[in-house]
Amino acid sequence: MTATAFPTPTPSATLALDVERLREDFPILSERVRGKQLVYLDNAATSQKPRAVIDAVTRFYSAENANIHRGVHYLSERATIAYDAVRGRVARFINASSPAEIVFTRGTTEGINLVAQSYGRSTLRAGDEILITGMEHHSNIVPWQMVAAQTGATVRAVPITDAGELDLDAFDRLLTERTRILAVVQLSNALGSINPVRWLVARARERGVVTLVDGAQSAPHLPVDVQALGCDFFAFSGHKVFGPTGVGVLYGRSELLERMPPWQGGGDMIETVTLEGSTWALPPARFEAGTPMIAEVIGLGAALSYVETVGREAIGAWEEELLAYATERVGALNGVRLIGTAREKASVLSFVVDGVHPHDVGAVLDDEGVAIRAGHHCAQPVMQRFGVPATARASFAFYNTRDEVDTLVRGLRRVRTLFA
């Protein structure tokens, strides 16, 4: 008996995804656009939806729709159970210690605004500092600028290096006795850099600084364990993790959520209401005023189940291989410059083509059926840092293939020819 006759699966073989089969789970991937097969490389903007998610939302509206937490009837009871069950699924997905630490929001942006306006506004004082970084999405810049203007606090930013990594020496200098909040992205949407969030959070916590991690891009691509990260808050969006638009998650450590005042008032977030005043429900209900996005939450639950079934390690391994292949192929093209060459990267390939504006790159690729993003990616400080008005960005998901990367490369050759 030889090893050849009974091959032992190698680690990569056990992790290998059957990408062609998985693609069949996504109805939109077989669509044609502008007469060409769709090549969807705009996953950092939003991901496509598997049939399991589409069906879950359709089934809810077709057979289960009712409002939650307020009916005695059968459907309301069913909807309430289904909605609240997703909290547990999300808690497992990010390894929160309790479903009570999961607040449903409209998305990452709303989660960050909630922390800024509830925790930030109630605790920040004049002279305090909020530390962010130079690679944040506008959604992790503007809410802090707003609460800084309201409280007299100051926003400071950790600079980034030419490769697109955080300047960690500068981070250490900027983390001072005045710092109250650290808000940092785990995986940059504009550069693809993976930040050493665990280390950053640990440094901040040594100084008693409250930490928020923007997980909008990391949740779909990297395994997330909020307890291992040690962060106080973690925000992500449903639609980037193959779920519906209009739903997101804010994880907050119970100890903090319990001390925080409500952000919005209304139904479902109260304990008692009189015309003289009201008392608040416990978290997470305290932060979910009004009828929430019930169908979307149920769709999110289906999305997270789907991702776990595919396997997050296998997803990570395939995406790493795909990004390496795309980086090599696109990076080898004459007149193409990659923006963001951090050692640790995932899922995002930002680049500029000499003499061609990214919008024109995007338009030519679109004519080939290739969907990429062209623009500042809601990260204008990153564009300013690299001295470009915009970049073209291809961003991958586990359902993308090497063939699709090849189509991208052919499209980029056409860009060079057309604008030569």
Q: Which residues bind other proteins (CB under 8 A)?
A: 34, 356-360, 363-364, 367, 374-376, 380, 383, 389-390, 418-419
CB-nearer residue toward other proteins: 146 or 378: 378
C-beta of 132: minimal distance to other proteins in Å? Answer: 21
| Cα distance between residue 197 and residue 195, in whole Å | 5
CB-nearer residue toward other proteins: 87 or 376: 376
Residue 322 in tokens: 């795909």
C-beta of 175: minimal distance to other proteins in Å? Answer: 31
C-beta of 95: minimal distance to other proteins in Å? Answer: 38
35 CB-contact burial (10 Å; exposed 0-12 / middle 13-18 / buried 19+): exposed
Q: What is the DSSP letter of 420?
A: -
Of 108, 115, 92, nearest to 239 by C-alpha is 108
| Cα distance between residue 321 and residue 314, in whole Å | 11
C-beta of 190: minimal distance to other proteins in Å? Answer: 12
Three-class SS state of 42: strand
The sign one gets for the Cα dihedral 278, 281, 286, 289 is negative
Contact status, residue 300 vs residue 243, Cβ threshold 8 Å: yes
CB-nearer residue toward other proteins: 92 or 359: 359
CB-nearer residue toward other proteins: 221 or 385: 385
Catalytic residues: 378
Query: Angle 358-367/402-418 helices, nearest 10 degrees?
Result: 120
Of 367, 418, 419, nearest to 35 by C-alpha is 367
Supply angle C-alpha 181, 186, 192, rounded to 5: 140
CB-nearer residue toward other proteins: 359 or 413: 359
C-beta of 367: minimal distance to other proteins in Å? Answer: 4
